[in-house]
Amino acid sequence: MKVFIGQFYLGYCYEFGIGTLIDKGKSVEWYQRATNNGNITATIYLADCYRLGKGVKKDEVKAFGYYKILAKKEISDAQYHLGNCFYNGIGTKEDKVQAFYWYKKASNDGNIFAKDIKSQISK
């Protein structure tokens, strides 16, 4: 049985107060458990928590690391976020060339947000 799906959804419920009180700390705990069990969506949510400091001490370098791992696995949402990190210097040095590279990969892998950004910055 794939318990990591339930772990992700439990984290989601805690983050957004679905059927329970909002508890950002517990949401991070459950996202981490699901991430440890291989849930890609949970890993993106966990990276977002670190990037924004939601339920955990803000750690942009850690968020960047999670995005990078998933981006290399061809996960378009992670590629998009990695492009944002490079573009804005989040958890890494600002690097417009790398940002464009990851936006392009994300766009080619179907991410509509990256496609829009890529078209705006290539003008």
pLDDT digits (tens, 9 = 90+) for 44-83: 999 999 999 999 999 999 999 999 999 999 999 999 999 9
The confidence band for 122, taking pLDDT boundaries of 50, 70 and 90, is low
Look at residue 54 in the predicted model and tell me its pLDDT.
97
CA 36 to CA 52: how far, in whole Å?
Answer: 20
CB 60 within 8 A of CB 89: no
Q: Are 81 and 47 in contact (CB under 8 A)?
A: yes
* Chain centre to alpha carbon of residue 52: 11
Residues in the chain: 123
In this predicted structure, which of 12-21, 31-40, 69-78, 106-115 has the lowest mean pLDDT? 106-115
- 73 versus 112: the higher-pLDDT residue is 73
- What is the maximum span of the chain, computed from C-alpha positions, in angstroms? 49
CB atoms within 10 A of CB 88: 12
